[in-house]
Amino acid sequence: DAGVIQSPRHEVTEMGQEVTLRCKPISGHNSLFWYRQTMMRGLELLIYFNNNVPIDDSGMPEDRFSAKMPNASFSTLKIQPSEPRDSAVYFCASSLYASGNTDTQYFGPGTRLTVL
Amino acid sequence: LAKTTQPISMDSYEGQEVNITCSHNNIATNDYITWYQQFPSQGPRFIIQGYKTKVTNEVASLFIPADRKSSTLSLPRVSLSDTAVYYCLVGVKGFQKLVFGTGTRLLVSP
């Protein structure tokens, strides 16, 4: 199994530009999570999906952030327009069960985003 | 908003047992407690999961008291490769929100 796949691994962009992060969960997993990690705030849950449906997006910082999951094998996290304070490592994770509880999550390698 | 708390850092030597505690006063009734390990430039990796009492696998043990308001990850004999950040993950009652702990940075020295 290839595990959770994220792309790109690194992204450098300028303030005001649109950024799209991509994630392919483990095949057969029903839940998908987007996290953001910074030194100041640690690891924060942004949003999670069960069976492709967004369940809890209360962690999304503001309207500039949006996430979609058009099918079971693909999700995107978009930031438009990006700001320097969005610089962080963004992780995608997936889990087998669709309960939304703390089932084992498998994390991708992350996307390191730098907004200049 | 309830929080989970862990010690910021711990130091140990090779071969010693390390115990890391996480406090989670508002854990949800149906939620499990999961611990993750993270190395630099990598995503967190599952270590162990439990609901109550004690769970043991090939790398760690997890102790959970009856009230479930805390949990302790026990690493039996650490090696240099166990140097990492360790997180506990629980649900938060009333918010249905998964909350990672603050993380404990473990440094294992020779």
Mean pLDDT of chain A: 91
Chain B from 8 to 67: CB within 8 A of any A CB? 28, 30-34, 36, 41-46, 49
What six digits make up the tokens of A91?
């992780």
Average pLDDT rounded to a whole number, residues A44-53: 90
Average pLDDT rounded to a whole number, residues B1-17: 87
Neighbours of B77 (CB within 10 A): 10
Question: Residue A70: is its pLDDT beyond 80?
Answer: yes
According to the model, what pLDDT value does residue A110 have? 97
According to the model, what pLDDT value does residue B92 have? 58
Q: How many helices (H) and strands (E) does chain A have?
A: 0, 11
Write the burial class of residue B105 (CB in 10 Å: 0-12 exposed, 13-18 middle, 19+ buried). middle
According to the model, what pLDDT value does residue A104 have? 81
Question: Residue A83: is its pLDDT beyond 70?
Answer: yes
Grade residue A1 by pLDDT with cuts at 50, 70 and 90: low
**3-state SS assignment for residue B4:** coil
Question: Residue A31: is its pLDDT beyond 80?
Answer: yes
Chain B from 65 to 84: CB within 8 A of any A CB? none
Q: How far apart (Å, rounded) are the C-alpha atoms in residues A112 and A116? A: 13
Size of interface A-B (CB pairs under 8 A): 59
According to the model, what pLDDT value does residue B2 have? 47
Single out the residue of A37, A64, A62, A34 nearest to residue A47, CA to CA.
A34
Interface mutation target, options A56, A102, A104, A107, chain B, most CBs of B under 10 Å: A102
According to the model, what pLDDT value does residue B97 have? 62
**3-state SS assignment for residue A48:** strand
DSSP code per residue over B40-91: TTS--EEEEEESSEEEE-SS-EEEE-TT-SEEEEEESS--GGG-EEEEEEEE
Query: Which chain A residues have a beta carbon less than 8 Å from that of B36?
Result: 105
Look at A42 and B100 and tell me if their CB atoms are within 8 Å: yes
Grade residue A2 by pLDDT with cuts at 50, 70 and 90: confident
DSSP A25: P
Interface mutation target, options A43, A106, A112, chain B, most CBs of B under 10 Å: A43
Question: Residue A68: is its pLDDT beyond 70?
Answer: yes
* Half-sphere CA count of A111, side-chain side, radius 13 A: 27
Q: Is B77 left (phi over 0), alpha (psi -120 to 50) or beta?
A: beta
Side chain identity at residue A103, one-letter code? D
pLDDT tens-digit readout, B16-60 = 999 999 998 888 787 788 899 999 889 999 999 888 889 999 999
pLDDT tens-digit readout, B52-105 = 889 999 999 999 999 999 999 999 999 999 999 999 888 655 445 666 777 999
Query: Which chain B residues have a beta carbon less than 8 Å from that of A93?
Result: 43-44
Look at A58 and B97 and tell me if their CB atoms are within 8 Å: yes
pLDDT cut 90: percent of chain A above it: 72
